[in-house]
Chain A
Amino acid sequence: MFFLFQTNPAPIPQDPNFHFLALVMGWIVTVLIAAFAVAIIYKMVKGDINLMYLVAGADGDASLARFQFLVFTFVIALGLFLIILSSSPPTFPKEISGGILALLGISSGSYVTAKAVDANANKPPATQVVVATPPPPPATAVVVNATPSEQTVNT
């Protein structure tokens, strides 16, 4: 609670051990990410990760909306990487313009709408419920002029 109201915190003293720890952590994370990426690329090349239907719809044919989404995602990701790596030291851009976000929004909105249209078109027709009419009740049979044992009334 005290730290919440502290407006001017004391500066943290530079610790050489902390610098070493940061360096070790940086190397570990960098090598780990490289190992993951190499493993994924190896499996993609070998065919263990199947990319055949990367831009295909539910029917197995390629979808243009998915392809457009893939192209814009790749281009914007490549651009972001380029911008980060071109500054020294590498820094994340301070702001991403609204035009880029609109571009991503247009392509993702188009993808979602195309998916909805496909799902609606593939919907099977509604099943018809047939209600069977109940059979008519049996007619009443009255037997007259019979012996008491034969007199029956069927309902």
Chain B
Amino acid sequence: MTLLANFARYEAIVLLAAFACVIVYQFLTGAITLRGVLCEKTKAGVGAISAARVQLLLFTLAMAFYLLSQVIKLRAFPEIETKWLLLLGGSNSVFLSAKGVSSLFSSEPR
């Protein structure tokens, strides 16, 4: 039974790492498109870089790294303080508001 448990443990680690490697590799090589991820969208195509999108990306990456580091350190899900959740919620609200305003009032919204 110990052998089976160890096999399942290593199998999960290897397969999850393989999935992550494939996706990260495809992001880096451009096989998964990231075109216009930080840009405004218009009917004419991809527009200029949007500050709302950049701040959302930064907050997302920061929160993801914080969460992963805490899980590695504590070996348990951490208690996330309300202020951090409010910060992320606010960041998302700014992004969605900018998207909605752009969609409503732009001459050529997408």
Contact = CB atoms under 8 A, between A and B. Distances in A.
Interface stretch (A4-12, A98-106, A129-137): A98-106
B51 interface: no
Contact of A64 (B11, B38, B63, B81): B38
Interface in B1-45: 1, 4-5, 7-9, 11-13, 15-16, 18-20, 22-23, 26, 31-38, 41
A62 B5 contact: no
A51 B76 contact: no
B28 to A, nearest CB: 13
Contact of B60 (A59, A71, A100): A71
Interface string A93-130: 10011011011001101100110011011100000000
**Chain A residues touching B, majority SS:** helix
Q: How large is the interface on B (under 10, 10 to 19, 20 to 34, 35 or more residues)?
A: 35 or more
Q: How large is the interface on A (under 10, 10 to 19, 20 to 34, 35 or more residues)?
A: 35 or more
Interface in A31-73: 33-34, 37-38, 41, 44-45, 51-56, 59-65, 67-68, 71-72
A30 B22 CA distance: 22
B79 A30 contact: no
Contacts, number: 159
- Which 9 pairs of residues, A with B, have the shortest CB-CB distance? A99-B80, A79-B71, A62-B37, A61-B36, A121-B103, A110-B92, A37-B15, A86-B75, A75-B64
Given A67-B57, A83-B71, A100-B67, 4 more contacts: A30-B7, A34-B11, A60-B35, A62-B37
Interface of B: 1, 4-5, 7-9, 11-13, 15-16, 18-20, 22-23, 26, 31-38, 41, 46, 53, 56-57, 60-61, 63-64, 67-68, 71-72, 75-81, 84-85, 88-89, 92, 95-96, 99-100, 103, 109-110
Interface of A: 23, 26-27, 30, 33-34, 37-38, 41, 44-45, 51-56, 59-65, 67-68, 71-72, 74-79, 81-83, 85-87, 89-90, 93, 96-97, 99-100, 102-103, 106-107, 109-110, 113-114, 117-118, 120-122
